[in-house]
Amino acid sequence: NFVDMKYSVAPVVRVAVEPKNPADLPKLTLGLKRLAQYDPLIQVHTAPTGEHILAGSGELHLEVCLKKLKEDFMRGADVHVADPIVSYAETVSAEASQVCCGKSPNKLNRFQMTAEPLSEDLCAAIDDAVLSDLDNKKRASLLVSEYKWSTTDARKVWAFGPPPDGEANVLVDQSKGVAYLHDVKDSIVSAFEQVCG
């Protein structure tokens, strides 16, 4: 049973790639799959716009991977590479001083959210998927005993940071007496994953 390695660097520089000749698109798709197998740090995905995105730890890493892609995995087929973009990620260093509020389009529903930092130990446990693999009762018990969470919050964890990395984010439902909340839970979790991803 193999376990994925954890790297100390993250793929923060991204480029979009496309074949110069549209007939080479199958070669590009296959080449990107092979590149992802060749270099486990590189991330390859298709954006909602249809662009093929390549993410690496830096410009040099991407340059080496693009050379490997063109020469070895695409057998010389030419690709157009967009300018590199550096991913930007924020962190929460103190409890939020404001509550963020939003309303549904029909103005009948309100949504409030706040943010606060997580302890280093809890971040490590989330990154190592220690908590996400547990059932709700065991996870709540661990959050209360090891990380000093309130029992109420520990029982109402809806999601951890977006897969596959986790990124040490937690979505906790702190609502009280809200009817039909389970009907929108999936949408709220999806929005949380989009924002944190």
Average per-residue pLDDT for the chain: 87
Rg (CA), the chain: 21
User: How does pLDDT run across 144-197, given as a tens digit for each residue?
Assistant: 999 999 999 999 999 987 665 556 889 999 998 888 888 889 989 988 888 876
Q: Is the pLDDT of residue 66 over 80?
A: yes
Rounded Cα–Cα distance for residues 6 and 26 (Å): 31
Please tell me the pTM assigned to this model. Answer: 0.63
100-156 pLDDT tens trace: 998 888 888 888 989 999 998 998 888 777 888 888 999 999 999 999 999 999 999
Q: Which string of b and e fits 86-111 if b means at least 16 CB within 10 Å?
A: eeeeeeeeeeeeeeeeeeeeeeeeee
Domains of the chain: 13-86 (3.30.70.870), 100-196 (3.30.230.10)
